[in-house]
Structure 1
Amino acid sequence: MTTTIENNASEATNKAPVDGPALWPAQAQAPQVIGRQLVIEGGEGSYIVTREGQRLFDGTAGLWHANIGHSRPELAQAAYDQMMKLETYHTFARFTNDKADTLAEKLAEVSPIPAPKIILNSGGSDAIDVACKLARRHWQREGRSSKQIILSREFAYHGLHAYGTSIAGLEFNREGYGTESLVPETARISLDDPEQVRRAVEEIGAENIAAIVTEPVQGTGGVNPPSEGYLETIQELCRDNDILLILDEVITGFGRLGTMFATERYGLEPDLVTFAKGVTSGYAPLGGIFVSPRIWEPFYEDSPDTPIFRHGSTYAGHATASAVAIKHLEILRNENLVQRVHDLEPTFGAALDSLAARNDDVVEVRYAGLLGGVTLREEVSAGAVCDRMVDKGFVSRPLRGNTLQVSPPFIVTEQELDDFLAAMDEAIREEAAS
């Protein structure tokens, strides 16, 4: 037995690791992508350029974020001007910086929550972490200490910090950490059945539930718009049972659905709304939370007993990121890009419906605004189709459920959209025949 162990150890020691760059690839089985990675060196408008010089139409807007397109000089100039004045300064205690203050005021003007306070941080995962903590802090401050559980939907994606991992409805993002949930007080509810959600609240007990968190339209989970009455039922359950409603608008915020926020499109009144990606179109890492008066007012009372919410990080309210966001909001407004998404939605939807009608390997298409998903037969690999599309000069991305992501920049032309979906159609047929 000793000899076997020694031999196995020797073989393991002699086995060479997979060769490749020092950077650990995200969300990938490393051996499957090393040697196949596309190094992106440039971009302009709706296109990106690889190290080899291949020009690709960015049909996913990066990771749902490049809404105004790539390499806008106005945003580069905004960052440069700010860095030449002050790169950043923290926003702890008595300190703040002018750009963080200005951005917060501008965000309050477009907020999906009336009279909000705004917590700034570095991205969507940060925002979810803070929102879930704030929900629990709220109920502890209220003296209702049993209200700790955060409910989230099956197939949900809320980033990959500890809370985002814990409330994920994509099981593969939850596995491998030694416990069922990194933060134990979490549970999943139905994707689209409001009655199942009602039963789950009854079984768990409203007295134990701090919040329900949901994307208005699921993104990574397969592009799942809400079923009829689903979000309205969740909102009703929250109001009737003293449960906070948290909307994750990291993808849908700032125009992706043809309204500034999905909250407006679906007529919702959340307690907390998280945002990120679209606040800068990815030009700087920035995210945050809109906080309703119900939550923030007790933390602002002029009293020696006023509690502190212990949030904050070094780059929360980063001055340069804030300057970029301010310029970005100006571009969204001046170029009327949110209305453009609204106007393009019928054309976008018709094009996806046409793809489904003419291609028997497409099981279903789903869309809202400029957010779409194309689900394929199980026998036709979405990942392989995406590889074929790259060869044709177009970028899509495989999502849960063998689904292809379709979320072009807001500046996409109808011709570019037609070309993109024609390439997708062709790639699907080629993969099905292989």
Structure 2
Amino acid sequence: MDGLSGIPAESGNMSLVDRDREAFFHPFTSIKDQKTNGAIVMTAAEGCRIRDASGSEYLDGAAGLWCVNVGYGRTEIADAIHAQSKALPYFHTFNTMANDPVVRLSERLLGLAPANMKRVFYGSSGSDANDTAVKMLWSYNICRGKPEKKKIISRAYAYHGVSVASGSLTGVPMVHQYFGLPLEFARHVSRPDLYRDAPARGFSSQEAYSSFLARELEEMILAEGPETVAGFVAEPVMGTGGVLPPPRGYFQEIKRVLDRYDIRMVADEVITGFGRLGQWFACDSYGIEPDLILAAKGLTSGYLPLSAVIVGEKIWRVFEAASDDGRAFAHGFTYSGHPACAAAAMANLDIIERENLVQRVAEIAPDFRSIFTGKLLDLDIVGDIRTAGLMMGIELVANKGEKRAFPAAAKIAGRVSLAARRHGLLLRALPNSDVLALSPPFTVSHKDMEMIAERARAAIVGITAELRQEALL
């Protein structure tokens, strides 16, 4: 990999793999798999390419976990972190304390966000941003004298995090199993799925399907009691739930229901924020009018952990009025508004603006789609390719005409993902479905997109041949 240096393993890759087995508890990883197969230890990256300790090189088609938007190896961000760490490496933001980069970042985010956004609250992850949103909704209603308004409605297979509160909002079954989740406050309605659910229910019109989903939400609100429901949280495009763009008119129909029952809208833009769909925020793409916006991944492109909850006028106005008696919003984290993280975010936003990367996403998104549909849609097990900006979901099926799924235990997407690694490609197999997710850095070249598609094709073709031998096709 040209120009890609790295930190060599002290005693070779196997030494690091063995040490990993003995020391590191991996998230979202089978302990049995870690013991049997070992870890892939990454050591260096540049642009869209990443290298492991054995010297193997990969095209990163997933930008880490949907987050390395400006690509790897951006020295401007590293330099900003270094400079801030020398000047002020850390100080808290409790009790009216602040620091220069977080003040500047807050002003900048409000300038990029929808006009009704008034303040910014910081954490370190999308999970804690969702937790913060839950507590803000609860506090907002307590301040209004409506403490019983606590339930929050999410959607099946949505992903909002894995902490106790955010994991309850998440609708992915594996996040609930073995943890006693979800907690009682969380409810879930259907996810919008134009490939499977809409035709199965007999909807040929996206608008009619949107109206149906809004009615389902309203029925749940009425069944629970509108006086008990505080908010509705949704990703503009569902990520982990299958890369599912909303049907036309969906969020407008949802808003009419929420307004009718005094329920606040929370837009989880942890994946979609900062240009992933070709606009700074996906709220602008889909006409969403949020009361809270949650952001993380693209805020620093993953160079340091930072999340933000951007607070809308309705909620801020109530908080501000309630503070007249001297009460504090008694919530926050040791690293809320961390100066080095804020400096990383500022440098990241500088790159996005200087290189016009949001507009670039909008310009290359049609090619992103056409390259993959051209190279993959003819394959026997590729049932659907859906995109929004630089997000893509490739759904694998046992029968295209019937949209028949593979047995869940076969884990076909996982097998394709492993095969893709052998071809030098990293992509994501999503949980609870045979969907492969792609979300490359905004700097991805047309040549790289072609290579990613070719390697994905090779992986799918190889697994298809195995499935025929196993009589699964």
Q: What TM-score range do you get, normalising by the shorter chain?
A: over 0.9
Structure-2 change in CA distance of 1:242 and 1:66 (3 Å): same
Q: Paired residue for 1:8?
A: none
Partner of 2:471: none
Q: Does 1:402 align with 2:434?
A: yes
Deviation per CA, 1:154-192: give whole Å up to 9, x if none: 1100011111111111111112124x52x3111101112
Could you list the per-position Cα deviations for residues 48-99 of structure 1 after superposition, in whole angstroms to 9, with x for gaps in the alignment?
1100111110000000000100111111110111111110211111311111
- State the match for 2:314 in structure 1: 294
2:199 maps to none
Output the amino acid matched with 1:419. M
Partner Cα distance (1:418, 1:250) in 2: 27
Q: How far is 1:366 from its partner?
A: 1.2
Q: For 2:288 and 2:418, locate their aligned partners in 1 and report how far apart those are by CA, in whole Å.
A: 39
Asked whether the equivalents of residues 113 and 291 of structure 1 are also in contact (C-alpha less than 8 Å), the reply is no
* 1:328 counterpart letter in structure 2: N
Change beyond 3 A, Cα 1:250–1:113? farther
Partner Cα distance (2:303, 2:115) in 1: 25
Report how far residue 195 of structure 1 moved.
Answer: 2.4
After superposition, what is the alpha-carbon deviation per residue over 1:85-144, rounded to whole angstroms, capped at 9, x for unaligned? 110211111311111111111111111353410001111111000011101111111011
Q: Deviations over 1:386-434 (max 9, x none)?
A: 1111111111110131111111100001111111111111111110111
Kept after mapping to 1: 8 A contact 2:70/2:443: yes
CA drift of 1:306 comes to 4.9
Matches within 5 A, 1:116-131: 116-131=118-133
Match of 1:177 in 2: 179
Compute the displacement of 1:281 (Å): 0.2
Distance in 2, matches of 1:21 and 1:405, equals 31
CA drift at 1:299: 2.5
Matching residue's letter, 1:326: M
**What are the ranges of 5 or more consecutive residues in structure 2 without an aligned counterpart?**
1-18, 193-212, 398-404, 467-473
2:265 is aligned to 245
Amino acid at match of 2:452: F
Match of 1:384 in 2: 415
Q: CA deviation at 1:241?
A: 1.0
SS at match of 1:358: coil
Pick one of 36, 39, 48 that aligns with 1:37.
Answer: 39
CA distance in 1, matches of 2:20, 2:94: 44
Is 2:201 the partner of 1:199? no
Aligned counterparts of 2:106 and 2:253: Cα–Cα separation in 1: 31
The residue type paired with residue 26 of structure 1 is: P
2:282 is matched with 262
192-201 vs 132-141, which deviates more?
Answer: 192-201
Give the whole-Å Cα distance in 2 for the aligned partners of 1:274 and 1:91: 19
Correspondence for 1:156: 158
Give me the whole-angstrom Cα distance separating, in 2, the residues matched to 1:170 and 1:39.
27
Counterpart of 1:348 (choices 368, 378, 401) is 368
Question: Which AA in structure 1 matches 2:425?
Answer: F
Which residue of structure 2 aligns with residue 9 of structure 1?
A: none
Given that 1:216 and 1:249 are in contact with CA atoms closer than 8 Å, whether structure 2 keeps it comes out as yes
The equivalent residue for 2:21 is 20
CA–CA separation in structure 1 for the residues paired with 2:104 and 2:340:
12
Report whether the alignment pairs 1:425 with 2:457.
Answer: yes
Residue 146 and residue 423 in structure 1: after superposition, are their counterparts in 2 closer, same or farther (change >3 A)? Answer: same
SS of structure 2 residue aligned to 1:52: coil
- Measured in 1, the distance between the counterparts of 2:334 and 2:20 equals 35
Q: What amino acid sits opposite 1:214 in the alignment? A: A
Query: Contact 1:194 / 1:229 at 8 angstroms: preserved in 2?
Result: no
Number of aligned residue pairs: give it.
415
Cα pair distance change 1:84/1:206, threshold 3 Å = same
Higher mean alpha-carbon deviation, 194-203 vs 296-305, is at 296-305
Q: Which amino acid aligns with 2:329?
A: F
Q: Give 1:298 shift.
A: 2.9
Does the aligned pair in 2 maintain the 1:128–1:274 contact within 8 Å? yes
Tell whether the 8 Å contact from 1:382 to 1:404 is kept in structure 2 after alignment.
yes
Cα pair 1:113 1:269 within 8 Å, conserved? no
Cα distance in structure 2, aligned partners of 1:206 and 1:365 = 38
- The correspondence of residues 224-235 of structure 1 with structure 2, limited to 5 A, is 224-235=244-255
One-letter code aligned to 1:210? A
Number of the residue aligned with 2:51: 49
Equivalent residue for 1:328, pick from 348, 360, 381: 348
Between the aligned partners of 1:145 and 1:189, the Cα distance in structure 2 is 23
Structure-1 separation of matches of 2:414 and 2:322:
56
For the 8 Å contact 1:299–1:306, the answer to whether it is kept is no
Match of 2:136 among 134, 137, 142: 134
Cα 1:127–1:19 change in 2 (3 A) is closer
Residues 274-308 of structure 1, C-alpha deviations (whole Å, 9 max, x = no match): 00000000011000101011111233349642542
Looking at structure 2, the residues matched to 404 and 33 of structure 1 have their Cα atoms a distance apart, in angstroms, of 22
Distance 1:19 1:315 in 2: 27
Q: Residues 121 and 313 of structure 1 are in contact (CA less than 8 Å); yes or no, is this contact kept in structure 2?
A: yes
Conserved? CA contact 2:21–2:38, under 8 Å: no
Amino acid at match of 2:243: V
Q: CA RMSD in A?
A: 1.6
Do the aligned partners of 1:60 and 1:406 also contact (CA within 8 Å) in 2? yes
1:372 aligns with 2:403: no
Give me the whole-angstrom Cα distance separating, in 2, the residues matched to 1:312 and 1:109. 23
Gaps of 5+ in 1: 1-17
Cα distance between partner residues in 2 of 1:208 and 1:66? 39
How much does 1:312 deviate? 1.3
After TM superposition, the score normalised by the length of structure 1 is 0.92
Give the stretch that moved more between structures: 93-102 or 68-77.
93-102
Cα shift at 1:352 = 2.9
Instruction: Name the amino acid aligned to 2:263.
Output: I
Amino acid in structure 2 at the alignment position of 1:105: E
